[in-house]
């Protein structure tokens, strides 16, 4: 049976530039593909390498059809994949170029069929080509792996057109501890972070502390310049993202629990509500830290009503109280809507009105963003002598 691909309704393909830009966001390891033909060595840097099968052991590589290395592999039928170590960026740059004499300053040994095996790599795959396929501007070589070798080490990474170190995921406990330390730091000015000092204070290995700080740069809590880390004022968007995550968890918990809570649980919920009322006066926080503690207790209890340890620990893992310590001060406006939201949530639980609770939770999660917008508008108005902007 012949199958026909219907293309009439397909969207327009991305441009070459768009495709390259988006593909550049896919981080990959870096290899050098080498081969030997008629007494001459060939090599090219490549990131398009993939495992194909483990029985028999097989992989595939992609090289541009114009590559002299690709043309040599077509004729020789053999090649090696040399997986570069994290300190091998100069080697990657050398083999990514079309400069002659690539092997002149590179140490290597000979493998199967005389193919060069670059020294200092963390892995080698020696291969024999089974099939070659043309795909657009590239040749795809499907090959059997005939010999492998490896040494300890971390790989060189390629991301957005640059070579770098591929960071491993930090230990979860270390990440939580370092995040708590960072979000509790001074927020009005940039603060240099001493990884060794943090490690000593938290009794965590320096390596794990470093990994945690790198992970926190992706969260927007830390800025990294080379080997230096700084904690900066929490960007508003980071705060809003945290509250979006908080909302997702609370909605899930509320959907399960509204209408099924008992009298004691409702009484405790109202007690926690009343406790939050003690820390604001005339839309100002009289005791920001007290408010943060009382507010956290109220919301954690809401999530805890679901009776799921995993859900509760996930919620606590957001570390919202520590984040709020950096964003809520005496000068921060304590809108009366915060209390109104809490009252509506408790009312919804008491009456079994799940729609009221879900709607209010959504509005409540938007309060920080609304407050920031009002504060920004007030500052703009002040700068313009009170004129409307």
CATH number for the domain spanning 262: value is: 1.20.120.530
- Higher-confidence position of 38 and 291: 38
Task: Give the C-alpha separation, 320 to 292, whole Å.
Answer: 9
Residue spans of beta strands (DSSP E) within 102-167:
108-110, 116-118, 123-135, 138-150, 156-159, 162-165
Task: Give the C-alpha separation, 355 to 320, whole Å.
Answer: 25
**Is residue 217 very low, low, confident or very high in pLDDT (cuts 50, 70, 90)?**
confident
82 located within any domain = yes
264 located within any domain = yes
378 located within any domain = no
Domain holding 71, by residue range, is 25-159
Task: Give the C-alpha separation, 185 to 191, whole Å.
Answer: 8
202 lies in the same domain as 295? no
167 located within any domain = no
150 lies in the same domain as 262? no
Cβ atoms < 10 Å from Cβ of 203:
7
- CATH number of the domain that residue 58 is part of: 2.30.110.10
Task: Give the C-alpha separation, 50 to 61, whole Å.
Answer: 7
Task: Give the C-alpha separation, 26 to 191, whole Å.
Answer: 32
**Is residue 311 very low, low, confident or very high in pLDDT (cuts 50, 70, 90)?**
confident
104 lies in the same domain as 212? no
Tell me: cis bond preceding 384? Omega within 30 of 0 counts.
no
44 lies in the same domain as 78? yes
What whole-number percentage of the chain has pLDDT above 90?
A: 41
pLDDT at position 384 over 60? no
CA end-to-end span of the chain: 68
264 lies in the same domain as 363? yes
- Under 8 Å CB-to-CB from 340, ≥6 apart: which residues? none
- From 202, 231, 260, give the residue that closes a domain: 231
Please give the torsion angle defined by the CA atoms of residues 10, 15, 20 and 22, in that order, rounded to the nearest 10 degrees. Answer: -50
202 lies in the same domain as 260? no
CA distances 372 to 136, 240, 283, Å, are 50, 10, 15
Tokens of 198: 């943090």
33 located within any domain = yes
* Helix axes 195-202 and 172-183, enclosed angle (nearest 10): 110
**Is residue 28 very low, low, confident or very high in pLDDT (cuts 50, 70, 90)?**
confident
Provide mean pLDDT across the span 123-136: 94
87 located within any domain = yes
Residue spans of beta strands (DSSP E) within the chain:
28-29, 31-37, 40-46, 49-54, 57-64, 78-83, 108-110, 116-118, 123-135, 138-150, 156-159, 162-165, 191-193, 222-225, 228-231, 280-281, 284-285
69 lies in the same domain as 146? yes
Q: Which of 150-154, 215-219, 256-260, 309-313 has the largest mean confidence? A: 256-260
Q: How many domains does the chain fold into? A: 3
344 lies in the same domain as 247? yes
222 lies in the same domain as 255? no
pLDDT at position 386 over 60? no
> Comparing C-alpha atoms, which of 31, 1, 246 is closest to residue 127?
31
76-106 pLDDT, tens digit each: 999 999 999 988 999 999 999 888 889 998 9
53 lies in the same domain as 117? yes
Provide mean pLDDT across the span 213-229: 78
380 located within any domain = no
Tokens of 208: 């794990």
- Higher-confidence position of 108 and 4: 108
- From 142, 159, 176, give the residue that closes a domain: 159
- From 169, 198, 231, give the residue that closes a domain: 231
323 located within any domain = yes
126 lies in the same domain as 56? yes
254 lies in the same domain as 341? yes
């Amino acid at each position: 049976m012949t199958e026909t691909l219907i293309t009439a309704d397909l969207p327009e393909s991305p441009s070459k530039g768009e495709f390259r830009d988006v593909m550049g966001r896919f981080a990959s390891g870096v290899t050098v593909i080498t081969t030997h033909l008629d007494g001459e060595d060939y090599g090219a840097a490549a990131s398009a390498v993939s495992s194909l099968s483990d029985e028999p052991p097989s992989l595939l590589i992609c090289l541009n059809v114009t590559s002299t290395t690709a043309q040599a592999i077509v004729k020789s039928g053999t090649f090696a994949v040399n997986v570069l170590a994290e300190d091998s960026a100069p080697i990657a740059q050398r083999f990514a170029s079309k400069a002659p004499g690539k092997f002149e300053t590179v140490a290597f040994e000979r493998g199967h069929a005389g193919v060069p095996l670059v020294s200092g790599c963390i892995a080698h795959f020696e291969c024999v080509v089974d099939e070659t396929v043309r795909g657009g501007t590239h040749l795809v070589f499907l090959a059997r792996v005939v010999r492998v070798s490896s040494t300890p080490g971390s790989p060189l990474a390629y991301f957005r057109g640059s070579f770098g170190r591929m960071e491993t995921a930090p230990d979860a406990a270390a990440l939580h501890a370092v995040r708590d330390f960072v979000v509790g730091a001074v927020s009005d000015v940039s603060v240099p972070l001493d990884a060794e000092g943090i490690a000593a204070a938290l009794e965590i290995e320096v390596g794990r502390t470093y990994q945690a700080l790198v992970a926190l740069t992706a969260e927007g809590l830390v800025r990294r310049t080379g080997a230096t880390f700084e904690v900066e004022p929490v960007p508003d968007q980071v705060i809003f993202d945290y509250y979006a995550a908080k909302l997702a968890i609370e909605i899930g918990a509320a959907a399960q629990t509204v209408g099924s809570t008992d009298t004691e649980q409702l009484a405790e919920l109202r007690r926690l509500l009343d406790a939050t009322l003690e820390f604001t006066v005339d839309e100002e926080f009289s005791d920001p830290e007290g408010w943060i503690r009382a507010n956290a207790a109220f919301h954690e209890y809401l999530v805890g009503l679901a009776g799921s340890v995993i859900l509760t620990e996930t919620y606590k893992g957001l570390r919202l109280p520590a984040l709020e310590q950096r964003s809520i001060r005496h000068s921060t406006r304590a809108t009366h809507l915060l209390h109104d939201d809490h009252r509506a949530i408790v009312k919804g639980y008491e009456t079994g009105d799940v729609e009221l609770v879900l709607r209010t939770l959504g509005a409540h999660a938007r309060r920080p963003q609304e407050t920031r917008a009002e504060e920004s508008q007030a500052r703009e108005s002040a700068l313009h002598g009170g004129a409307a902007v």
